[in-house]
Amino acid sequence: MAAVVTLSVVVPMYNEEEVIETTYAKLTEVLEATDESYELVFVNDGSRDRTAAIVRGICARDARVKLLDFARNFGHQIAVTAGMDHASGRAVVLIDADLQDPPALIPQMLALWREGYDVVYGKRISRQGETWFKKTTAKWFYRTLAAMTSVNIPVDTGDFRLMDRKVCDALSGMRERSRFIRGMVAWAGYRQIGLEYAREERFAGETKYPLRKMVRLSLDAITSFSTKPLKLAGILGFLLSAAGFIYLIVVICQRIFTDTTTAGWTSLIVISLFFHGITLSLLGVLGEYIGRIYEESKRRPLYLVADKLNFEGASEDSRE
């Protein structure tokens, strides 16, 4: 796609009716002050509230705002991907709709980009207004992931970042469906730099990332960037057989050299439950990978767009 503006800002939105106007106003204020040409790409990820209607209103009065309206909810990472696919800027910024990532940081990101960096990622030094549970799970998740992968994914970074056009193109060429964008950017390489910031409280509304979506994102991250869990079965199997073998020798020796015979229905049940548990868990690990291979093999498009506004060319909806 021909680059027509300097900066594209991609904002995924799922049921964000309470924040859109403020986010739009804040972003516009910051971007106008930079004196760069820019566009705002708002992606409506199948919201069930008035998100689309509000964005349509903004699009009508500001041609720099573009709307990508999804056919249904495809998820945050896919929404961001679609925004990047449709962004035309020489640099692309990804930012959440809820103002947890401060737009005021964008000028600093731009400055670092001008200095020659291809990726400027926001690194959270603190997180405000988020539950203890979220902070702790996030902290451990990033560290486990780092230990499991050979790709150097920076810890405590979200998707708030600026990317050069070439990085954006590289990512757009990666059509995998389990997407963990911060990992994919790390994988891509180029000149990257972190920019530290304090993550604010959500401006309004509540999180659109319930536990279910968080677990899914973590599993996508791990399965996309590591095959270590697959090797777990082999390692555990080997250790357990070794332990079983040693115990067998102990029992035989007991039988030959002493009068005691090892009795115990309870211990048998416990051991049997334990090992069946391990076996099934490992099957679950296999399932996570196989399910993803299956999803990938269907080769369906990553997302479906119901309508586009303010993009060049005709509207997707032939009735309009």
Residues of the shown chain interacting with ligand UDP in the complex, contacts defined by CB under 6 A: 12-14, 16, 45, 73, 75-76, 79, 96-98, 100, 207-209
Q: With CA atoms as reference, report the closest residue to 309 among 44, 103, 27, 79.
A: 44
The CB-of-44 to ligand UDP minimum distance in angstroms stands at 8
Which of 112, 106, 77, 129 has the alpha carbon at shortest distance from 197? 106
Q: Which two tokens stand for residue 300?
A: 């369906």
Of 98 and 159, which has the nearer Cβ to Mg ion? 98
**Cβ nearer to ligand UDP, comparing 36 with 49:** 49
C-alpha dist (Å) from residue 197 to 23, 121, 139, 202:
18, 10, 16, 15
Cβ nearer to ligand UDP, comparing 45 with 85: 45
Q: How many residues does the chain have?
A: 320
Which residue number, 209 or 275, has a Cβ lying nearer to ligand UDP? 209
Nearer to Mg ion, 125 or 174 (CB): 125
Contact footprint for Mg ion (CB under 5 A)? 96, 98, 100
Q: Which does 16 bind (CB under 5 to 8 A by kind): ligand UDP, Mg ion, none?
A: ligand UDP
Q: Tell me whether residue 81 or residue 100 sits nearer to Mg ion (CB atom).
A: 100
Question: What is the dihedral angle through the alpha carbons of 235, 239, 240, 246, rounded to the nearest 10 degrees?
Answer: 160
CB of 96 to Mg ion, least distance (A): 5
Q: Of these partners, ligand UDP, Mg ion, none, which one is at the site of residue 160 (CB under 5 to 8 Å by kind)?
A: none
The minimum distance between CB 181 and ligand UDP, in angstroms, equals: 11
Tokens standing for residue 149: 């992968």
Contacted by 85, from Mg ion, ligand UDP, none: CB < 5 to 8 Å by type: none
Decide: 165 and 90 in contact? Cβ < 8 Å. Answer: yes
> How many Cα atoms sit within 13 Å of 122 on the Cβ side?
27
DSSP 3-state assignment of 261? coil
Binding site partner of 97, from Mg ion, ligand UDP, none, Cβ cut-off 5-8 A by kind:
ligand UDP
Residue 15 C-beta: closest distance to ligand UDP, Å: 7
Which of ligand UDP, Mg ion, none binds 76 (CB below 5-8 Å, type-dependent)? ligand UDP
Minimum CB–partner distance for residue 266 and ligand UDP (Å): 45
Nearer to ligand UDP, 10 or 112 (CB): 10
Measure the CA dihedral 9/14/15/19, to 10°. -20
* Torsion, CA 87, CA 88, CA 93, CA 98, rounded to 10: -40
Block residue for tokens 């980009």:
113
Q: Of 198, 122, 179, 124, give the one whose Cα is nearest residue 156.
A: 124
Out of ligand UDP, Mg ion, none, what residue 94 binds, judged by CB under 5 to 8 A for its kind, is: none
